Amino acid sequence: MNESGREISELAELLPAPAGRDLPTARKQILKEHLMTELRQPGPAGGQPAPESRPAPKSQPAPESRPAPESRPSAPKTRRPRRPRRPRRPILVTGAVLAAVAVAATVVVTNSAPAKPPAKPPASRSGAQAPQASVTTAGLLAKIANAAASQPSPVVRDSDFMYIRSEVAYTDYGMSGGHETSVMEKLHERQIWLPVANLCVTGLLIEHGERTPLSPFPMKNGKFDPSAVQGAQPSFSCPSEGHLGDATYRLLQSLPTEPAALLNYLKAGKKWTNDGPVIEIGDLIREAIIPPAVAAALYRVAALLPGATLVPDATNAVGRHGIGIVWTGRYDRTEWIFDKATLQYIGEMDYDAKTGALTGESAILQQAFTAKAGQLP
């Protein structure tokens, strides 16, 4: 057995047993927000936490020394998602409400074995049926990892913003008369500015002709709105580099780059995201600039995870052809699409695993760092 084979064999022992996948994240978000509307009670208004001074830079922590993701409570969301799969930034609320949400979410969205055999995975947009999983898929992910590792590391200031411009269309889920509704958007441009070092700094989303401030705190007319804070005063700690599910570039820089350690970190992060490593990796690469060494490690971890298949000719939202890596869950089928020449990530396609209907598509057009939110590269 060669070195690569030994590494795969050793790291494969770290993988959890395969399990049924939860409801899609976007649908879970709708259910949680509906529940929070019922639970939220009027209370005294709180103020915005005073920013703390940024701690001195520290070396990359070992996975054991890194604070566990569960050290901060989760909460209802107040900002638009970066994409329908990504959670919104939280406003932290009282423990009683959180406990109620946790219990309700457990009741509403639990894993269970499917009553019927899973449907045959739908074909990709190119029309090519995804073949069975093979070493070719792992080999391609290894090449993608090597290509990512070869990219230069950008020089970035803490005051900068990640800028991502894309073309996207996703299913818009909602609630009407107590029933879930869904409508597929039209393809449109999306621009987003995300703070490099501190989630407490307000970012910006431009989409559908609207400029939406992105903040962990309730906003009104682009400013913090204390009247929207109900119950206990938010305990969100500022400054913050974020957490898995809503990470800044600085947090991404601190992630382990050794595959086994990174896999353990992703598994621990399920308490933040309620998702497994495959979905967490997809959420990280979907709308962020990933440091080269960390991007390489993410793809090396993906190469070890079961269930991937390869589509030799996949197409992103704007018709650009590439190679697809396909992950099929109980409800969704997701293709990560990579440029055939550069092996860089260029977008994603999402399908309903049972019907084959398109539920989301994206194409990455530009990524850069800017000095201010709203500034173009």
pLDDT tens per residue across span 224-263: 665 565 554 444 588 999 988 889 999 999 999 999 999 9
Of the listed ranges 3-7, 128-132, 166-170, 372-376, the one predicted with least confidence:
128-132
191: three-class secondary structure by DSSP: strand
pLDDT mean over 285-301:
97
The pLDDT of residue 238: 86
Of the listed ranges 17-21, 162-166, 240-244, the one predicted with least confidence:
17-21
Would you say residue 204 has pLDDT above 80?
yes
Question: CA-to-CA distance for 311 and 323, rounded, in angstroms?
Answer: 6
Q: pLDDT exceeding 90 applies to what percent of the chain?
A: 50
pLDDT mean over 208-230:
75
The pLDDT of residue 250: 98
Would you say residue 83 has pLDDT above 60?
no
The pLDDT of residue 224: 61
The pLDDT of residue 361: 97
pLDDT mean over 25-42:
44
Of 264 and 75, more confident = 264
What contacts 89, CB < 8 A, 6 or more positions away?
Answer: 77, 78, 79, 199, 214, 215, 216, 246
Question: CA-to-CA distance for 329 and 306, rounded, in angstroms?
Answer: 11
Give me the count of residues in the chain: 377
* Contact criterion met (CB below 8 Å) for 125 and 359: no
pLDDT tens per residue across span 338-376: 999 999 999 999 999 999 999 999 999 999 999 999 999
The pLDDT of residue 229: 57
Question: CA-to-CA distance for 275 and 270, rounded, in angstroms?
Answer: 5
pLDDT mean over 146-158:
97
The pLDDT of residue 231: 52
Smallest Cα–Cα separation from 169: which of 361, 364, 366? Answer: 361
What is the pLDDT of the chain when averaged over all its residues? Answer: 73
Question: CA-to-CA distance for 145 and 336, rounded, in angstroms?
Answer: 14
Would you say residue 152 has pLDDT above 90?
yes
293: three-class secondary structure by DSSP: helix
The pLDDT of residue 217: 76
* Contact criterion met (CB below 8 Å) for 169 and 350: no
